[in-house]
């Protein structure tokens, strides 16, 4: 268990999140209507809402879910375009993405939070990514990343990190064992 004195922050995973599906199973593209939940909580829920990880908020050019492109830097305040955990999170908790049906998942795109030295240091560094067919029984996703690049400390846009792996059938994906950038 790692003590996190400052919040854990996740920018838009179009996985700040969009999830891609395997081309040989369905048309390549986004999984629609993904929902996200967390056991960690959200700092100022109306502003740093976990829904911002899947709704496209902050993605350029038009706040539309996408598997490519950049994510606008987060300035925080009352117009946050990412998710941020509650302050003084003492356990790593989980973030769960629900697809609402089975998909043949072959990759995802991830944007770690950036926009300032403070915010970039609060992004996700290490992670275990798991998948499930029922939201109860979880399997570690072989070939998925176990760490993410830190978001930029400057006020510039955050580039996408694209990950591919052997396709798996899943209704849910979960981030667990998260450690923030320090």
Per-residue pLDDT tens digits for 104-140: 888 888 887 766 666 656 677 788 999 999 999 999 9
Q: What is the DSSP letter of 152?
A: P
pLDDT at 16 over 50: no
Using alpha carbons, select from 64, 79, 58, 75 the residue that is nearest to residue 11.
58
Residue with the bigger pLDDT between 167 and 84: it is 167
Average pLDDT, integer, range 43-55: 74
**Domain range list for the chain:** 9-180
pLDDT of 3 reads: 30
pLDDT at 78 over 90: no
pLDDT of 77 reads: 54
Average pLDDT score over the chain: 72
pLDDT of 75 reads: 57
pLDDT at 181 over 60: yes
Residue with the bigger pLDDT between 77 and 127: it is 127
pLDDT of 5 reads: 33
Is 9-180 CATH 3.90.1640.30? no
* Burial of 69: CB neighbours in 10 Å, binned 0-12, 13-18, 19+: middle
CB 176 within 8 A of CB 128: yes
pLDDT band at 74 (very low <50, low <70, confident <90, very high): low
pLDDT band at 86 (very low <50, low <70, confident <90, very high): low
What is the token pair recorded at 163? 């990950």
């Amino acid at each position: 268990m790692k003590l996190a004195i400052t919040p854990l922050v996740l920018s838009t995973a179009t996985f700040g999140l969009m999830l891609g599906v395997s081309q040989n199973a369905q048309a390549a593209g986004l999984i629609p209507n993904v929902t996200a939940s967390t056991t960690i909580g959200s700092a100022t829920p109306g502003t740093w809402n976990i829904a911002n990880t899947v709704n496209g908020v902050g993605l350029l050019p038009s706040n539309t879910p996408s598997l490519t492109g950049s994510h606008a830097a987060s300035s925080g305040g009352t117009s946050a375009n990412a998710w941020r955990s509650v302050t003084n999170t003492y356990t790593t908790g989980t973030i769960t993405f629900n697809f609402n049906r089975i998909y043949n998942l072959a990759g995802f795109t991830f944007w770690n939070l950036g926009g300032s030295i403070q915010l970039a240091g609060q992004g996700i560094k290490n992670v275990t990514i798991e998948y499930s067919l029922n939201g109860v029984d979880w399997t570690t996703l072989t070939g998925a990343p176990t760490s993410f690049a830190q978001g930029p400390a400057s006020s510039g846009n955050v580039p996408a990190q694209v990950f591919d792996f052997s396709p798996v059938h899943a209704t849910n994906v979960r981030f667990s064992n998260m450690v923030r950038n320090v």
